[in-house]
Amino acid sequence: MDTSTPLLVSQRVVQISLFVLSAIALFGGALQMYLGQPDTSPRLDNVHRFMAGIYFGCGLIAFFAAMTVRRQNTLVLLIAVSVFFAGCGRLISIGQVGVPEPHAVWLGYLVPELLLPIVLVIAQFMTNRASRA
């Protein structure tokens, strides 16, 4: 693709959304890898830090997709679906065991996990439509 032409607005929206997701996942993954799961069993701490590594790796993938946004399509949609599923997992947890303290922090995590995937999918479909025109 021609990198001398400016990005479409929809591509820029995808790119910015991916950079936001990347920053969240890289920071959150590194922090959770470092902190672990306090006051728990070794088994749960092990699983927690493993999932933190997955989270960090997803941040790297989102960063790569943002940097190469002109060449991406399916990857953007897969990232969006994955983040949405993560938000759904958080919703299930909240429904079954309640919102952790402090409530605002955990709900603050949930909102972008449910909204950014929708923004990504809509913007990517707009990009695809504009590319075909």
Across the range 51-56, mean pLDDT stands at: 96
Please determine, for residue 1, whether its predicted confidence score (pLDDT) is greater than 60. Answer: no
Cα–Cα dist 57/97, whole Å:
28
* Strand, helix or coil for residue 67: helix
Who's near 91: CB < 8 A, 6+ residues apart? Answer: 110, 114
pLDDT at 4: 75
Peptide bond into 38 cis (omega under 30): no
Query: What is the structure's pLDDT at 38?
Result: 85
CA gap 99, 120 in Å, rounded: 26
Contact between 79 and 65 (Cβ < 8 Å): yes
Instruction: Name the pLDDT band for 10 (thresholds 50, 70, 90).
Output: very high
* pLDDT value of residue 5: 86
Mean pLDDT for the stretch of residues 15-39:
94
Letter for the amino acid at 27? Answer: F
Output the pLDDT for position 72. 94
